[in-house]
Chain A
């Protein structure tokens, strides 16, 4: 491993540890899922299905279960499609889900090129500035004009997360080096 990418993984991992500690200790939440590293397609499926089952067993409202499933599928597929890699080809990314009696907090993170930071930030700030009606209007606009890219995505991911969460999307960009940052997004789901 070159020194450069040791640093990329380290920075991303320390962000992961920071959020883990924040959920677990500061916020006194139970950690339901924690994964650092790449997400295979099978892992995406098993996490989504596994959390769905666990929530149903816990007696969570059906609406909350479906919203969580949707957020996990959208979020983890986003990571697979858009998460950048470090110099050694590691797609450094992570997922954390913290739970208490009132809510679930889901943090998803992946590497992004610094040249893409502004587009992502502007998009999220835009979505966060809208009320539910405006988000729905944006959704209809993207749906009507939507194109599916060759990668397979279609630009509705963040909008869908905002609609499912019914809360603002918290996000953070942590600079790592000249080309990469660690982008994390936190979604709250009421139980």
Chain B
């Protein structure tokens, strides 16, 4: 399957990832009870695809549970591998203006990955 589309759940985010698209989008709240079960969908999909060329992964979370923070990092590690293998990957880390928690998580990720992360405060809709 060359695309992964997951609708927003009560405690899981929306995912719109299409291998042919330049922008890969993920947003919403993330506090699934079984984090592995939800995020395995994403990491399995990434593992089954060959990420090449230019890709921008956009993340805009409103809440991330502690295990979700680790799960998202595991996604970033795979993007880092793709980047090391020649893909041109940019991460847009978006957060609501004033949301220090989500902003901080993006800054923490930046310390532990070689990916290019652009931090963007957005006005609350």
Binding site for B on A (CB under 8 A): 41, 44-45, 62-63, 66, 69-70, 73-74, 77, 80-81, 140, 142-144, 146-154, 156-157, 159-160
Complex A-B, nearest 5 residue pairs according to Cβ-Cβ distance, in ascending order: A156-B66, A152-B34, A146-B70, A154-B67, A160-B66
Q: Decide: A144 near B10, CB < 8 A? Known: A41-B33, A77-B31.
A: no
Q: Is the interface of A mostly helix, strand, loop or mixed?
A: helix
Cβ contacts under 8 Å, A73 to chain B: 31, 63, 65
Is residue B108 within 8 Å, beta carbon to beta carbon, of the partner chain? yes
Q: Are B35 and A140 in contact (CB under 8 A)?
A: no
Q: Are A156 and B63 in contact (CB under 8 A)?
A: no
Task: Tell me the smallest distance from the CB of B12 to a CB of chain A, in Å.
Answer: 12
Q: Output the nearest chain B residue to A159 by Cβ-Cβ distance.
A: B66
| Complex Cα–Cα for A136 and B31 (A) | 21
Q: Which of B78-117 contact A (CB under 8 A)?
A: 98, 100-101, 108, 111-112
One of A66, A152, A156 near B101 (C-beta < 8 A): A66
One of B31, B32, B70 near A156 (C-beta < 8 A): B70
Q: Decide: A152 near B10, CB < 8 A? Known: A140-B108, A143-B69.
A: no
One of B10, B39, B66, B101 near A157 (C-beta < 8 A): B66
